[in-house]
Structure 1
Amino acid sequence: MQKLFSYGTLQQENVQLETFGRKLNGVQDVLLGYVLGEVRITDPNVLKASGKEYHPILVHTGNDSNEVQGTIFEITDDELAQADEYEVDDYARVSAKFKSGTTAWVYADARQV
C-alpha cells in the first residue's frame, strides 16, 4: 500500500469516487515545511470532478513552522497511478515527512521540483 496526503480536492468524496471508484479511509496529519498557494485548473476532467476552477497547491518553504493540515490515505499502486492522472502538470509528486513521523506522497508545485 502507498500513503498519499491530500490537502485539497482529493479529500472530497465525489472526487474520490470519480478518481478511484471508492471512498478512501484516512487519518488527519500535518505536513511541515509547506504553505498553500493556488493554481487555476483548465483540464475539463478535473474541473468536472472537483467542481472548482482554483485548487490549492503546496509551496515548499523548508521552514518547519509552516504547516498544512490534511489527510493521509492508504491507496494501492494502481490508485496512486490514478491520482497521478488526476493531478494536472502544475503538480509534481514528491515524498514528504509529517508531524506524526509518517512519510507519504504529496503533490507540490512542480516549478519547485
Structure 2
Amino acid sequence: MSESAQGRTYLFSYGTLRQREVQLSAFGRELDGTPDLLPGYTVTTVEITDPGVVAVGGTARHPIVRATGDLSHAVEGTVFEVTDAELAAADDHEVANYRRVLVRLASGLHAWVYIDS
C-alpha cells in the first residue's frame, strides 16, 4: 500500500538510509532527498546484531525513533520519493527492531518511517 501526495510514495529517514553506501546497497542508486522534520518523536539508539546491516552501515549502533506524543519534540531527517519496489527493499534492509508506519511530516507530506517496534 502506498500513501502519498499525488500518487507519490515518500520515505522519511533520520539514520543510515541517508548514507550513500546504504542507498546503493538497498536501492541500487543514490536517492535525492529534501530536509524535513518528524514531529512528536525523539531519537535514541539501538544495537544491531545483523552482520550484513552492520557492514553496510559501518556501525552496530543505529538511531531509532520513538513516539512521544509531544509535538514540541521533532526529529530531523530527509524525505525521499521512492518507488514501491524501493520501499519493499527498505523493508528488507531494516531489522526486526524497526517497524514501518505512515506519518505526517512538518512539511505536510505523508511519508513512511521506521520506528521502534
Give the TM bin, normalised by the shorter chain: over 0.9
Q: How does 1:50-65 map onto structure 2 within 5 Å?
A: 50-65=57-72
User: What is the distance in 1 between the residues matched to 2:32 and 2:93?
Assistant: 18
Aligned residues: 110
Cα offsets for 1:53-91 (capped at 9, x unmatched): 100001100110000000000111111011001100000
Cα RMSD (Å): 0.7
User: What is the distance in 1 between the residues matched to 2:73 and 2:27?
Assistant: 30
Q: 1:49 aligns with which of 51, 56, 78?
A: 56
User: What is the distance in 1 between the residues matched to 2:9 and 2:55?
Assistant: 26
User: What is the distance in 2 between the residues matched to 1:20 and 1:48?
Assistant: 16
Aligned-residue identity in percent: 52
- Taking structure 1 as the reference length, the TM-score comes to 0.95
User: Could you list the runs of 5+ residues in structure 1 that have no partner in the other structure?
Assistant: none
User: Could you list the runs of 5+ residues in structure 2 that have no partner in the other structure?
Assistant: 1-7
In the TM superposition, what is the alpha-carbon distance from 1:96 to its structure 2 partner?
0.6
Q: Which residue number corresponds to residue 40 of structure 1?
A: 47
Q: 1:80 aligns with which of 81, 84, 87?
A: 87
- Taking structure 2 as the reference length, the TM-score comes to 0.92
* AA at the equivalent of 1:32: P
Task: Specify the SS of the correspondent of 2:42.
Answer: strand
Q: Which runs of 4+ in 1 moved over 4 A?
A: none
In the TM superposition, what is the alpha-carbon distance from 1:28 to its structure 2 partner?
0.5
